[in-house]
Structure 1
């Protein structure tokens, strides 16, 4: 072999070795990584991320968005998924994603420790999503604004149509927010579709803003930017714990509730790490992080202490919420389209 050929061969060998080394490094990095889409409050998302990283050494890349936004992103990325795990947010978009084959079947060894409602969510989704917490829908009002403006204290859904509350009610957009979609589905089930949409049209006159995030109206109410915020009650409780002048209300007519859920994205590039997170997130140690981050939902693991600040579901008039129907692709699309056409676009 000539010197020139020897040099060429050596160069090729070195290049091959370098390429192999890079591939090995890339594989190692992939094995030590997890990409998570998170749909609860930022503080809770970060607490979960940090704790999981500490316990496993797996580096988590977390993005926080509202439930509806995450569903849309998962659907858009279906051919080349970027995320591995979708944690938190109302169960309806999780159910829709399951029905459309965007998430995958998985049974955690921790299923036996979960509340019946969490297991039922898993069964109804054909093993593609599981309940991680529950919380009731309601609203809160700023006590100082109500007193200063001589407004009758609202106790029922009907009270939110009071003319004194014109431009003083805030709620999220159901297209981006699972909280607001829960409101839409709740009102339809509580009043019937025709009367329910009449109610939502009347409520529209009093709405000052349809926010992107479901929890945003709680902060606005606490800050005095709006008199009433329609949210999950636990989000308003967080404001009360922070000493905001807010009162939390469970509507007198009855109300719906959410089953916050978790799903593994179909085609996840870090599948084994996604399963590790899934199993860990169902443990009491992981679930108690919610209360520590001032999120006061009812955890799905029976052995997780329920935060004393959490609204007591057995004392609230809850409707028999049909998660299977209102989490289906067809029903969600139909209701959201009807809301866009008949409510959102109405003039004040």
Structure 2
């Protein structure tokens, strides 16, 4: 036990010595809500540096929230890494996650620390990314469609069946889009907009990044996603152009939370501190993850969409991450949008 605690302390200090790998013991049950490539990179690197066996499952943030809530009396997960911050905040308000103040907090950006403060230190920001969409330039040219530059443009009848967005019940990306539109337009106007948009939606996907991956493959013209997910497809060589909406847009704070009742708490804290280091966050670009890192000293990928280049709204994380507000919006989406979905 002392050796395992020593290893956790060494990791928290950012050490990656052979001794750490030799003496660390135990395992970690992790749910990762980012793209599977970065999930696997994080899993492999942590195992190599800590000697702790990571049992990783990839689930969207909405699915993860539902899972940890269902398992609250008998938690099977130790830590939840990544995915949009709103479900993390809801889990915090529901008492499903554990208060933990990492010694790395002072190294983080203000938005990452604010996420921790808002949640009573039951979650913390690990990256950020703005909402927008990516479109297939070849398809738009072939079909004679104009470039959609604004939220209003997506309602054009010429895009009928040409747009994909995820379901906000399973996808944190789509919930961010829903909450963004409500904050920009007002709730009733936002749902009027979504009803009109539904006429152009070919599919509500399970995963938040799936729409732009479909656009990259030529299966749809436009995917509403976080901009870094669209950029990742461009970097891979697909004909995808990213758009930040002219009216303004919201953003995510990808977050991390330790599950209350975690069976492998020392391992969870070791991962938590390790994942907040500049060294770890600087490697995210190696997995084609182009979010803005939360550690102020981490290297920002040159491809990452910068907030200063985007018209951003003052996204209210406290309100739209609250359990009652999120539940009410999702129930209304089910009644008014899912009920008429194509």
Identify the TM-score tier after normalising by the shorter chain: over 0.9
Deviation at 1:343, TM superposition (A): 1.1
* TM-score, length basis structure 2: 0.92
1:305 maps to which residue? 299
Answer yes or no: is 1:140 the counterpart of 2:134: yes
Instruction: Please give the alpha-carbon distance, in whole angstroms, between the structure 2 residues aligned to 1:184 and 1:39.
Output: 19
Deviation at 1:289, TM superposition (A): 2.5
Give the ranges of 4+ consecutive aligned residues of structure 1 lying more than 4 Å apart after TM superposition: none
Q: How does 1:1-348 map to 2 (within 5 A)?
A: 31-346=25-340, 348=342
Please say if residues 48 and 289 of structure 1, whose CA atoms lie closer than 8 Å, have aligned partners that are also in contact. no
Please say if residues 132 and 262 of structure 1, whose CA atoms lie closer than 8 Å, have aligned partners that are also in contact. yes
Please say if residues 204 and 344 of structure 1, whose CA atoms lie closer than 8 Å, have aligned partners that are also in contact. no
Instruction: Please give the alpha-carbon distance, in whole angstroms, between the structure 1 residues aligned to 2:216 and 2:164.
Output: 12
3-state SS of paired residue (1:345): helix
Q: Which structure is larger by alpha-carbon Rg, 1 or 2?
A: 1
Instruction: Please give the alpha-carbon distance, in whole angstroms, between the structure 2 residues aligned to 1:243 and 1:53.
Output: 31
1:6 maps to which residue? none
Instruction: Please give the alpha-carbon distance, in whole angstroms, between the structure 2 residues aligned to 1:308 and 1:148.
Output: 31
Instruction: Please give the alpha-carbon distance, in whole angstroms, between the structure 1 residues aligned to 2:309 and 2:316.
Output: 20
3-state SS of paired residue (1:36): strand
Please say if residues 173 and 210 of structure 1, whose CA atoms lie closer than 8 Å, have aligned partners that are also in contact. yes
CA offsets 1:212-266 (integer angstroms, 9 cap, x no match): 0000011101001000000000000000001111110000000000000000000
Please say if residues 25 and 51 of structure 2, whose CA atoms lie closer than 8 Å, have aligned partners that are also in contact. no
Deviation at 1:208, TM superposition (A): 0.4
Deviation at 1:31, TM superposition (A): 5.0
Q: CA RMSD in A?
A: 0.9
Please say if residues 31 and 270 of structure 1, whose CA atoms lie closer than 8 Å, have aligned partners that are also in contact. no
Instruction: Please give the alpha-carbon distance, in whole angstroms, between the structure 1 residues aligned to 2:330 and 2:47.
Output: 38
Per mean C-alpha deviation after superposition, the further-off stretch among 141-150 and 250-259 is 141-150
* TM-score, length basis structure 1: 0.91
Q: Which runs of 5+ in 2 are unaligned?
A: 1-23
